[in-house]
Amino acid sequence: MSKLINHLRNKDVQNLFLDVAYGRHIVEGDLCKSLTDDSGNIYVQHKLGKREWNACKKLWWRGFNIAASDYKFHPGTLSTGNEDTVQGVDAIFSMDIPHSLQAWIRAKVPLADAGITLNTSTEEPSGLAGIFECLKVNNYNSAGTVTDFSYSENPARQILDAFLIEGGRSASRIDFGAFCEWRDCLAEQILCDYTALPDFEGFGLTANYYNGASFDTFIEERVDAVVEFDSDNGRPAYGLNEVFSARYEGKIKPRFTETYTFYLYHDDGAKLWVNGSLIIDQWGTAGSHSATIALTADTFYDIKIEWENTGGHSGIKLEWQSTSQPREVAPSDRLYPKPKYVDRWLGNTFFSRPTRLDDGIRTMLRLCNSAFQRINGKYRFFCYDQITSSSFTFDEAVNYYPNSLEIKRRDPTRTRNVWQATCRDLDSQFFDQLIKPIVILRENLIAEAGQRIDGDLFDFYNSTRFQTYRLLTEIVKREAGAPSAISLTGNAESYPVLKGDRVKINLELLNLTNYECRVTRSVDKSSETTADDREFSLKEWI
């Protein structure tokens, strides 16, 4: 006889909440119910979040993978009734309700794989987690008409969802023409090339996995720290069959100018290219093979490995050795992913508890190098990347009052000169937290201060190392760009200038001509009854 347990009973419901999550996340959700059938199989039911989510990409229980055939994802659509095949009553939890407009999942616990026996009367079957593509969001045209409802990692679409849907604000307050320009800017393709970042440490190669021994059906792309795998630890990617193939690509940077020997253990066949040359060609043959090639220290060389497994045991390992380099698995800090084009900015944020709308919007804007202005009662969102030229020039005795000028010099003994950031890396298999934070330091400021001055560690949620580095660079520009800040009062001609604008200033006192600045503050003087002047604060634009 089946046994059903309600795990929400006697729990403090105030501690249970549904996440607002945009983009890709590892989600556990709330364990609601479990059911043990007559054969001893245990099924669990987890609530994930409100509204409609997109997909479950991977699912595991206490580290053991759950096959797609052993779970049912209910995305959170509006249910049409109990018989609704998408959001109706679940086939296993047949006495339940449809849970309309709530994403949730039912899964069979892999007890046999885990080698665990559970008594759900005394122990909760907790431990379910998965990678999910979360909320679907609207898209809009320049007239403010909804043109699409779909999953998107575009931050502009997500921020408008938070503003209009979660926040319940009026669409009449949005400048939709500016929104479309902003959205398209964030989606523009830029080259992600880690070898072009100054002093950036390597972290692995781009790995692509396929079902079939000849790269037949694509399964997953990620960055693997090293090329070292043995099937005793399971298959190398979620969703792979026993017969599969893989390709590893990127750059390798040697430590020494010497002749290197590369060793490749492979089961089954494999090939290795270094600097465009096929130096090991053993497709269809298992074994260990080696080859030599002359390399120059701290030079980036193309590297590619192809590997097939036709069944049974599988494994692969890449090592290197030179006169000064002991034999070792080629380390991650000397391996760089293959350059590729990516969206300019991606959004993968979540809010797991009640959050003020303004705070949430500002957090999301910071994660895509964006801001907003209020113009004629409407919100104009924009990315700083869109601002390519100055829109206004402050000229002495023309449109600002010289006696209002105030210059605030930077105090190097109190100015941060080291910045650090971390993230959950979207390029890793399970969105792992970075082992070491990304660090940017300004040697000139350290020299001025005579010491390192660190600040708080920035956390950029789910991101890539590339985006994290670029976000941290933008923060460094804002905080440490200029040796001084400028405050002034402008006359009526300067009314259109708003916080976030890029302007020029001509300042004879400092011998500045067309000196470009970012507007950090723009307010009408509160003591004035008429709008005759406005106060501005400016910092150097970099």
User: What is the 3-class SS of 140-186, one letter each residue?
Assistant: ECCCCCEEEEEECCCHHHHHHHHHHHHCCCCHHHECHHHHHHHHHHH
Determine contact, residues 506/527, Cβ cutoff 8 Å: no
Contacts of 384 (CB under 8 A, 6+ apart): 369, 370, 371, 474, 500
| Mean pLDDT, 10 residues at a time, the chain of 542 residues | 75 57 94 91 94 96 92 96 94 92 95 83 90 97 98 98 94 98 98 96 98 96 96 84 96 98 96 98 95 98 97 94 97 98 96 82 96 94 96 90 87 92 95 95 92 94 97 91 86 88 90 92 69 84 84
Pairing of strands 484-490, 406-409: antiparallel
The three-state secondary structure class of 464 is coil
Q: Provide the Cα torsion 362, 368, 373, 375; round to 10°.
A: -120
Structure tokens at 218: 């694509």
Rounded CA-CA distance 222/205 in Å is 8
Contacts of 520 (CB under 8 A, 6+ apart): 485, 499, 537, 538, 539
pLDDT at 417: 93
Rg (CA), the chain: 28
Rounded CA-CA distance 36/541 in Å is 63
Rounded CA-CA distance 295/301 in Å is 8
Rounded CA-CA distance 151/297 in Å is 45
pLDDT at 14: 47
pLDDT at 28: 93
Rounded CA-CA distance 223/206 in Å is 5
Rounded CA-CA distance 388/396 in Å is 24
pTM above 0.85, yes or no: yes
User: 418, exposed or middle or buried, with CB in 10 Å at 0-12, 13-18, 19+?
Assistant: middle
Rounded CA-CA distance 201/21 in Å is 31
Rounded CA-CA distance 249/306 in Å is 9
pLDDT at 10: 62
Pairing of strands 418-425, 454-463: parallel
Pairing of strands 502-507, 438-441: unpaired
Rounded CA-CA distance 240/520 in Å is 52
Residue entry with tokens 């066949």 = 269
